[in-house]
Amino acid sequence: MHKFKIIEDRELTRIQQVAESIRRDIEKGLLQRNEQLPSINEFSSEYKVARDTIEKAYGLLKKQGYINSFAGKGYFVVGKKDKKLKVLLVFNKLSTYKKMVYDSFIETLGKHANVDLQIHHYDPHLLKEIIENALGKYHYYVIMPHFYLTAKTEEYLKIFEMIPEQELVILDKQIKGLKKNCIEVYQDFQNDIYSALADAKDLLLKYDRIAVVLKKEGHHPREIIKGVRQFCLEFNKELEVLSSAETIALNKGTVYIETTESDLALLIKKARQSKMIPGKSIGIISFNETVLKELLDVTVITTDFEAMGRTAAKCILDNNCRKIRNPFYMIRRKTL
């Protein structure tokens, strides 16, 4: 039997809360045409809501054309109206990569949905405020769960627990401890970077050391370091973790993996000043593909941001609750 999630919204009456919960499940296709709804007594008993409230909620839905009743048989779904889905998309920040996700997400949803975009700026408190104000107003909540490194797991887990699992979509990063069967389109940062490096071991054999440039104040997942360490241990390479490219003295035989475009610019500048040729005396690998990196012929390891947005949108349109690891790969260029 279909399980309902009664909306808790103080701006709505209890009758409206029940009716809205059923209406949204019809519009999302979770309740199909001609599917029978629980009787008034069954609904009242199961969800501890007064019979009179259920009867009036059913009456409201019948008046709106979502359901119909037949004497002696009960209430049945008429079908969803030609109405767009409402989707809230919450990013951690705005960037070139996020725009790729956004554009492919919007393009794939097409005319079937209206999408609102908000930014939580890595701050769980801001995300909590956004979700509290949005609950009950959208069919889907699509969230990138990147937070400050100091953010407490139990703090942001409570935020995701507020959202019904059939309405939650997690993008880019899985959340440890989240016990919800929701849509997830994610990067597996540790295994992704290990696999990308292992696939390029033929190019990396000429180097003795790998240096990861990862800013202490940055928000990149620390699983990146675990993936590089795993590769170094397996293929007998030294590992160094640096907090900034500013203080780096370039060493021959080292591959530098950077995570920001500012550090990439510094590495290229220092290589030119020291007359070290990327791809020969040193190696440079940059995180995430851009047109500029393509023009500069810089080797990158990147997830497919367009695929991420497209896949999430398809899951929403198909009502398909899946956990999908997003494609991740290395683009080989002259800096390696």
- The predicted pLDDT at position 185 comes to 97
Q: Which helix (H) or strand (E) holds 309?
A: helix 305-317
Tens of pLDDT, residue by residue over 257-285, are: 998 888 999 999 999 999 999 999 999 99
Cα–Cα–Cα angle for 251, 252, 256, rounded to 5 degrees: 65
- The predicted pLDDT at position 81 comes to 63
More confident residue, 33 or 109: 109
Residue 102 CA to residue 117 CA, distance in Å, equals 9
Looking up tokens 């940059």 gives: 286
Tens of pLDDT, residue by residue over 151-208, are: 888 888 999 998 988 889 999 999 888 888 899 999 999 999 999 999 999 999 999 9
Residue 247 CA to residue 209 CA, distance in Å, equals 17
Q: Closest by alpha carbon to 117, among 85, 141, 145, 146?
A: 141
**What are the b/e assignments for 83-92, b being 16+ CB within 10 Å?**
eebbbbbbbb
Q: Write down the domain spans for the chain.
A: 14-77, 85-187+305-327, 190-303
* Topology classification of domain 14-77: Arc Repressor Mutant, subunit A (1.10.10)
Sequence-distant (6+) residues with CB within 8 A of 205 are none
- The predicted pLDDT at position 116 comes to 97
Cα–Cα–Cα angle for 124, 125, 128, rounded to 5 degrees: 85
Segment 237-259 mean pLDDT: 91
Please state which of the ranges 24-33, 53-62, 82-91, 119-128 shows the lowest mean pLDDT. 24-33
Question: Which tokens go with 189?
Answer: 């940062």
For 190-303, which CATH class? alpha beta
Question: Which tokens go with 7?
Answer: 């909306």
Residue 250 CA to residue 234 CA, distance in Å, equals 24
Cα–Cα–Cα angle for 24, 19, 78, rounded to 5 degrees: 65
Give the CA distances from residue 85 to residues 19, 166, 256, 275, 312, in Å, rounded to whole numbers and listed in that order: 17, 14, 45, 56, 14
The gap from C-alpha 166 to its chain's centroid, in whole angstroms, comes to 15
Domains 85-187+305-327 and 190-303 share a fold: yes
**pTM greater than 0.85:** no
- The predicted pLDDT at position 10 comes to 72
More confident residue, 107 or 291: 107
For 85-187+305-327, which CATH class? alpha beta
Segment 243-265 mean pLDDT: 90
| pLDDT at 130 exceeding the cut of 90 | yes
| pLDDT at 80 exceeding the cut of 70 | no
